Amino acid sequence: MPKIKRIDHIALVVEDIDEALHFWRDALGLELDHLQDVPREKSAIAFLPVGGSEIELVQPTSPDSGIAKYLEKRGPGMHHICLEVDDISGMLDQLRAKGVQLIHEKAVNGENGKKYAFIHPRAAFGALVELYELP
């Protein structure tokens, strides 16, 4: 049976990563691991490790990106929580069997051999949940 292992990251939408770092890095004292441009998603991402997990700041880099639309509609704040699972395909099968609504029916191949899929927030009581299987 597929198993959830830990929280991989919590993602927050921000208007401006540099400004958000005044809080997350400078005031809280978290370390900025790296900044990354994600042209495919028209966004920029900052990672701040916390224990074995990470805070991920996501900033839109184009007004027509999905993240920009989300920001316009909902404002900055929580975007999604990502759980690491040992067998993402098995977990998607299990969720489907339990009638859970998925955004991705199959795991998507991400960078560095990661596989990911999103569960619909309607199925998760308002929270957008991402699943990760790490290589």
Binding site residues, Zn ion, CB under 5 A: 11, 82, 130
Rounded Cα distance, 128 and 97, in Å: 19
- Least Cβ distance, residue 111 to Zn ion (angstroms): 12
For Zn ion, the closer of residues 44 and 82 by Cβ is 82
- Please, what is the minimum distance in Å from the beta carbon of residue 11 to Zn ion? 5
Q: Give the shortest CB-96-to-Zn ion separation in angstroms.
A: 21
Q: Could you tell me whether strands 53-60 and 77-85 are parallel, antiparallel, or unpaired per DSSP bridges?
A: unpaired
Closer by beta carbon to Zn ion, 99 or else 135: 135
- HSE-CB for 61 with a 13 A CA cutoff: 13
| Between 21 and 130, CB nearer to Zn ion | 130
- Shortest gap between Cβ of 118 and Zn ion (angstroms)? 9
Nearest CB to Zn ion, comparing residues 84 and 130:
130
